[in-house]
Amino acid sequence: MSELPKLRIAWHPGNPNEETTCGFEKAKDVVFGHGLDVLVFVEGQLISSYEGLLELATQDRFRNRETLKVMLVSVVAGG
């Protein structure tokens, strides 16, 4: 298997110009370490687990990319 892409991570709401880049191996903590109050979108697709991220990253259309864009969306509950 070729090397997995790095992740360009941004928060929404937040400054779209502020992105963090991390290696794929840190995704469990950086991307999925926030609990259920965050939705994770990778290249526009909702991903619910590290395994889902791995599956997406190894698809033919993403396999040779240097980076994948990750958007973390804070879920605000209340009313």
Is residue 14 a part of any domain in this protein?
A: yes
Q: Is residue 10 part of a domain?
A: yes
pTM for the model stands at 0.82
28 neighbors 50 (Cβ within 8 angstroms): yes
Residue 1: which pLDDT band, with cuts at 50, 70 and 90? very low
For all residues of the chain together, what is the average pLDDT? 85
Task: Indicate the pLDDT class of residue 46, thresholds 50, 70 and 90.
Answer: very high
Residue 79 lies in a domain: no
**What CATH code is carried by the domain that includes residue 22?**
3.10.20
Give 7: exposed, middle or buried? Use CB within 10 Å, 0-12, 13-18, 19+: buried
Is 23 inside any structural domain? Answer: yes
- The pair of structure tokens assigned to 27 is 């995704």
Q: What is the DSSP letter of 1?
A: -
Looking at the structure of the chain, the number of domains it has is 1
pLDDT for 4-35, tens place per residue?
Answer: 899 999 988 777 678 889 888 888 888 877 76
Residue 11 lies in a domain: yes
Percent of the chain at pLDDT exceeding 90: 37
Q: For residue 33, what is the DSSP state?
A: T
